[in-house]
């Protein structure tokens, strides 16, 4: 499977208890929906897991994954990111995007000058930020992912038009 056909929907953050349950962080809009998108696979698609949520904890869930029966097996999965097939996920409204769709898009300013490409989409609590890297940028630029700063996203042509806030560059 390619990254175009899979979306990262969560991550295993560690074991919970001694019966193979894991602590699971969900990246979905409705966090509890992560179980509805199973089976989920690891990053390379080598392992798949059906997910059953068994409880809720701060910043996540307790979950049972198929094939994981011991604390040691659960511990070994710490840090594994979980992916769902894109066709299992809901279609988004016109003004919403999966992060995976934004990464790699070419970024232009409102004058048509190329700034670089979106390298990552970050969220440190307040809102999403686009990390933009380019040959003419000394360091990565973190741009707020708001309608004011990013007025145009054209997935078909693979480009984003940004209206850079004063003093950002």
Q: Domains in the chain, ordered, with CATH?
A: 3-88 (2.40.30.60), 99-162 (2.30.30.240)
pLDDT at 168: 67
pLDDT at 16: 96
pLDDT in tens, 53-91: 999 998 899 999 999 999 999 999 999 999 999 888 888
The predicted model gives 40-47 an average pLDDT of 92
Question: What percent of the chain is modeled with pLDDT above 90?
Answer: 53
d(CA 21, CA 73): 9
pTM of the model: 0.71
Would you call 115 helix, strand, or coil by DSSP?
strand
pLDDT band for position 1 (cuts 50, 70, 90): very low
Q: To the nearest whole number, what is the mean pLDDT of the chain?
A: 89
pLDDT at 92: 81
Backbone angles phi, psi at 103, to 5 degrees: -65, 130
More confident residue, 166 or 114: 114
Neighbours of 131 (CB within 10 A): 16
pLDDT at 101: 87
Backbone angles phi, psi at 82, to 5 degrees: -110, 135
- With a cut of 60, say whether residue 165 has pLDDT above it: yes
């Amino acid at each position: 499977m390619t990254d175009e056909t899979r979306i990262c929907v969560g991550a295993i953050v560690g074991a919970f208890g001694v019966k193979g349950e894991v602590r699971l962080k969900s990246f979905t809009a409705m966090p509890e929906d992560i179980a509805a998108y199973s089976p989920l696979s690891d990053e390379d698609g080598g392992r798949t897991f059906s997910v059953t949520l068994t409880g809720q904890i701060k910043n996540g869930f307790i979950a049972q994954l198929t094939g994981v029966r011991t604390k040691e097996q659960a511990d070994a999965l710490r840090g594994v990111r979980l992916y769902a097939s894109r066709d299992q996920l809901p279609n988004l409204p016109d003004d919403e995007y999966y992060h995976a769709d934004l990464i790699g898009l070419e970024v232009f300013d409102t004058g048509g000058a190329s700034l670089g490409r979106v390298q990552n989409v970050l969220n440190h609590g307040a809102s999403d930020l686009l990390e933009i890297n380019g040959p003419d940028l000394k360091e990565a630029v973190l741009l707020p992912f708001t309608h004011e700063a990013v007025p145009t996203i054209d997935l078909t042509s693979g480009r984003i038009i940004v209206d850079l806030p004063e003093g950002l560059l």
